[in-house]
Structure 1
Amino acid sequence: MSVSQPSVSFERAVPVAAPALPGRERVANPAAAADGDTRIRRGTRSFVLTNLALFSAGFSTFALIYCVQPLMPVFSVEFGISPAQSSLALSATTGMLAVAMLFASALSEVVGRKPVMVASLLVSSALMMACPFVQDWNQFVWLRAVAGITFSGLPAVAMAYVGEEMHSESSGLAMGLYIGGSGLGGLGGRAIAGIIADFYSWRTGMFAVGTLGIACGLILWWSLPASRHFRPSSPSPRVILASFLVNLKDARQRALFLTGFLLLGSFVCVYNYTSYRLMQPPFDYGQATVSLVFGVYLIGIFSSAYLGNLTTRLGRGPVLCLSMGLMLAGALVTLMPAMPAILLGLSAITFGFFGAHSVASSWVGANAHAAKAQASSLYLFSYYLGSSVIGTVGGLFWADGGWPGVVLLLCVMLVAGLATAAWLAREARTATV
């Protein structure tokens, strides 16, 4: 998946003068020099290097997480497991990621942003390179679960780094490139692993994606400027817990957290079992062809920006309802046993998902009156927990009812999501009256 990643962060932006790094600007321009601002601005070498680092990080992280999705039918055959068991290749990772992200940013408060991000990517890549050498399914799942913990250090910390080090007029583009890299990585990881698996083996495909992750980790280490505005701190568990409780007591925040759970859970469920469907009669597509279907993912990169911008005219509530409704309609269209209809349905689901996630994740921050970063981390916890839970439960519906069974589960989830969005829209109108 490729999506924006807010983080857990304990805000304290205190500018600290630091020696200029070799070959990198201490200040962005003469105006910045005049007011003593050392944050990274557009048009400087530091800005280019930072964006290269963030793009590489986003691309590789999501390539490594989602590269297993088109391989699930292969896992079922090779290890003799059910589709629900095969889905653990992804669900174990996202489940551990959900929990670990609540704490990863707190770790970065102590040891620093860049060290956590670089270590996260390099260790995760090494674990993915180890996966092809296991012969036992349980060992494979354990490696993927541990990787879920190590992955958490990147999405949870990237936004904190941008918020501290980038000038406000340049941070939007920086995060946009990180999100774009995430979207392309989710697509690229699936395509690389799936196509190589068709011509060689899934083991070769996963090793290739892991190698790509190592290369991106080295780019991140080389090109990301060291923090200049970071000061280490050690927030107590009591402070961390209090910041979470503030948001959990808010009914609207809880509704948004539920929305995140339903969104990614439904989206992952669709793509998990589409691979099974297309590799069986009447389609009988090969692994490479099925992997190319994930090209629909590119639609989401456009929709997140388009629907996010549409909220300025229509409001968050109506756009969230529209996005959920589009996902529900797309799920019903995929019931038609024709490839054009399936692609149309997947396109509608993908368009609606990225738009809804863009709206919901931004709404969480806007609705939080305190502990905004912790609000975002709770949203991401629910978001990835939905992927883990619904992604696996969908395998049971596939086993019992085939694709119509999966669509039944999707309809239940998306109707609940549409009702939640409608309640949020009503609450928003009430608040403005």
Structure 2
Amino acid sequence: MPGARIAAGSAAFRRINRAMAFGGFSTFALLYCVQPLMPLLGRDFGLSPAQSSLVLSVATATLALALLGSSNVAERFGRKKVMVGSMLSGAVLTLGCAFASDYLHLVALRACMGLMLGGLPAVAMAYLGDEIEPTSLGLSMGMYISGSAFGGMTGRVLSAFISDFASWRIALGVLGAAGLYAAWEFSRSLPTSRHGATLPARGPGFVAGLRIHLRDPGLPWLFALSFLLMGAFITLYNYIGYRLLGAPFNLRPSAVGLLSLLYLLGIVSSMWAGKLADRLGRRNVLWLMMGLMITGLLITLADSLVAIVLGVGLATFGFFASHSVASSWVGRRARAPQALASGIYLFFYYLGSSVVGWSGGYVYEHWGWTGVVTLLAGLLGVGLAIALHLRRLAPLPVNY
């Protein structure tokens, strides 16, 4: 019989959070390390901003598709094995990207990498939802997202600096090697799942599980919110670099890469918001963090470098706080199969990254930064309306 769920402060809690920090770090460092390289790839291969964005959008699209299937595979064959395999294969494929012969080859390798990385995010959220006691889940999910934020930040900063002083190929090689080390640390630290290692034969299948989650009065709204949140956030970082590299700022790629240090705010905000939501309730925190994200986005319209940095910082803080609250809400609310609910949430999350992130390039080409901000403010306005609607969501039954 499975034992009691794990509480904050225990040795098992620390081991899980250490492993998840490495898992989140590696996944998002490998996924997003190409973001600051987009202008360089455009220069080397003669690409428009929208075409350059494919190196990221294709990876997030295949990752989104993989999330649904990987959740079911993990429920049947063991979550830890699937997550470790995901990290190893993602690192190897990133090493392969360093030797891509042309842009088509690079995009194809990135598509395969996204497909393989899909074995970690949804499974990690389901693992935490099953293994961690509810009163500690917000903190644990926040710490996992903090590791993700740190990985996304480090991947972007390292690739920007290495490519500025060496080449983008060397940058990808270094990140691939770091991914191999992170996979080893993850494997030796994470305890085997005790509450959701396998799916019983009588358990709901994919279609039945999909019906269960889509009939819930709250989950579909959270799925939609994930699309809007990630779509707006990734598009902000996709094209702010183009603006800062051009007149009147004319910054170097390494200087633009430093903007990713603002992810440190995400590390702080995801843990802070998780604890705040555990105390005050997710419905009372989510809409405030969404409002903060919109405020930061609007500030980036100013023609001041200081104001732009401030605006991106506020948007980053608000995004990671909102994502921490929304993702832990999915883990708390979902019935079995929980991994599928996490997979659906992240499917829409990365679908937003691909669709909005790619289409934002065309908006930037035709209407500049003002057009991008107008697009993202509209999307986040819809997200804010959803967050306010969720305030009226009925609480879960006692025996849920």
Normalising by the residue count of structure 2, what TM-score does the alignment of the two structures yield? 0.89
2:44 aligns with one of 61, 64, 78: 78
1:422 aligns with one of 382, 388, 391: 388
SS of equivalent residue, structure 1 residue 185: helix
1-structure distance, mates of 2:126, 2:137: 11
2-structure distance, mates of 1:254, 1:272: 27
What is residue 355 of structure 2 aligned with on the other side? 389
- What is the aligned-residue identity percentage? 47
What is residue 105 of structure 2 aligned with on the other side? 139
In the TM superposition, 1:114-133 aligns within 5 A as: 114-133=80-99
- Further displaced range: 175-184 or 59-68: 175-184
Q: Does 1:295 align with 2:268?
A: no
What is residue 73 of structure 2 aligned with on the other side? 107
What is residue 89 of structure 1 aligned with on the other side? 55
Shift of 1:357: 1.4
What is residue 280 of structure 1 aligned with on the other side? 246
Unaligned runs of 5+ in 2: none
2-structure distance, mates of 1:250, 1:230: 21
Shift of 1:312: 5.9
Q: Is the 8 A contact 2:41 2:52 kept in 1?
A: yes
Q: 1:259 to 1:47 in 2, by over 3 A?
A: closer
Q: Does 1:65 align with 2:31?
A: yes
What is residue 219 of structure 2 aligned with on the other side? 253
Q: Is the 8 A contact 1:259 1:420 kept in 2?
A: yes
Shift of 1:148: 1.0
1:321 aligns with one of 259, 269, 287: 287
1-structure distance, mates of 2:291, 2:255: 29
Q: 1:237 to 1:165 in 2, by over 3 A?
A: closer
**Which structure has the larger Rg over C-alpha atoms?**
1
Number of residues paired by the alignment?
A: 396
SS of equivalent residue, structure 1 residue 133: coil
Q: Is the 8 A contact 2:72 2:339 kept in 1?
A: no
Unaligned runs of 5+ in 1: 1-13, 16-35
Residues 249-292 of structure 1 show CA distances to partners (whole Å, capped at 9, x for unaligned) of 34532222111100000000000001111111111111111111
Q: Amino acid of the residue matched to residue 150 of structure 1?
A: M
- Further displaced range: 212-221 or 310-319: 310-319
Normalising by the residue count of structure 1, what TM-score does the alignment of the two structures yield? 0.83
Residues 325-380 of structure 1 show CA distances to partners (whole Å, capped at 9, x for unaligned) of 22222121101111110011111111111122122223334444564443232111
1-structure distance, mates of 2:204, 2:14: 39
Q: 1:239 to 1:343 in 2, by over 3 A?
A: same
- Further displaced range: 388-397 or 95-104: 95-104
2-structure distance, mates of 1:238, 1:226: 23
What is residue 349 of structure 1 aligned with on the other side? 315
1-structure distance, mates of 2:92, 2:37: 19
1-structure distance, mates of 2:326, 2:70: 22
Q: Amino acid of the residue matched to residue 96 of structure 1?
A: T
2-structure distance, mates of 1:39, 1:192: 35
2:176 aligns with one of 210, 214, 218: 210
Q: Does 1:361 align with 2:327?
A: yes
CA RMSD of aligned residues (A): 2.9
Q: Is the 8 A contact 1:263 1:353 kept in 2?
A: yes
- Further displaced range: 312-321 or 277-286: 312-321
Q: Amino acid of the residue matched to residue 121 of structure 1?
A: M
1-structure distance, mates of 2:47, 2:22: 34
In the TM superposition, 1:158-173 aligns within 5 A as: 158-162=124-128
Q: Does 1:270 align with 2:267?
A: no
1:180 aligns with one of 124, 135, 146: 146
Q: Is the 8 A contact 1:263 1:383 kept in 2?
A: yes
1-structure distance, mates of 2:215, 2:317: 32
